């Protein structure tokens, strides 16, 4: 059962400017693994932009927006050994996921020249996670 869907598109140039203008942007928004991944790419701005879009898309699926409950670093984008992107949630993001009784997060990332896009789906697979209203 789908619990939430979120998508976001980010202009790579916008992220490039943020990287140039705000030295603490990377550490404030991204986790250590994300930084290592992005810095290892030929075009780090594209990778940062895709991960930034993923974080915003996750917030949309959680229904939190920027209410302060979820921190940027509560959402971490990783790449598995096969190159598939995934999401690791902690802190306020994990609390919200638990409240929604979701147990899977699906992520798709893409970038083409000047744009990066993320699509996120929250899913509830376990039957014992279903909520019955009275």
Q: What is the pLDDT of residues 5-60, one digit of tens each?
A: 999 999 999 999 999 999 899 999 999 999 999 999 999 999 999 999 999 999 99
Closest CA to 37 of 51, 24, 25, 56: 51
Q: Indicate the pTM of the whole model.
A: 0.90
pLDDT tier at 129, thresholds 50, 70, 90 = very low
Report, at the CATH architecture level, how domain 2-126 is classified: Alpha-Beta Complex (3.90)
CA distance 29 to 43: 18
CA nearest neighbour of 116 among 2, 1, 8, 4? 8
Catalytic residues: 60, 111
What is the spatial distance between Cα 32 and Cα 9, in angstroms, rounded to a whole number? 23
- Percent of the chain residues topping a pLDDT of 70: 93
CA atoms within 13 A on the CB side of 117: 7
């Amino acid at each position: 059962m789908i619990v939430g869907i979120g998508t976001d598109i980010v202009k790579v140039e916008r992220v490039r400017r943020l990287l140039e203008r705000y030295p603490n942007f990377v550490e404030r928004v991204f986790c250590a693994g994300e930084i290592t991944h992005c810095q290892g790419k030929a075009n780090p701005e594209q990778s940062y932009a895709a991960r930034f879009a993923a974080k915003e898309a996750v917030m949309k699926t959680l229904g939190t927006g920027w209410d302060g409950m979820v921190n940027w670093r509560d959402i971490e984008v990783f790449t598995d050994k096969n190159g598939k992107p995934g999401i690791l949630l902690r802190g306020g993001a994990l609390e919200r996921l638990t409240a929604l009784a979701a147990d899977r997060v699906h992520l798709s990332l893409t970038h083409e020249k000047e744009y990066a896009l993320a699509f996120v789906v929250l899913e509830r697979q376990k039957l014992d996670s279903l909520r019955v209203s009275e």
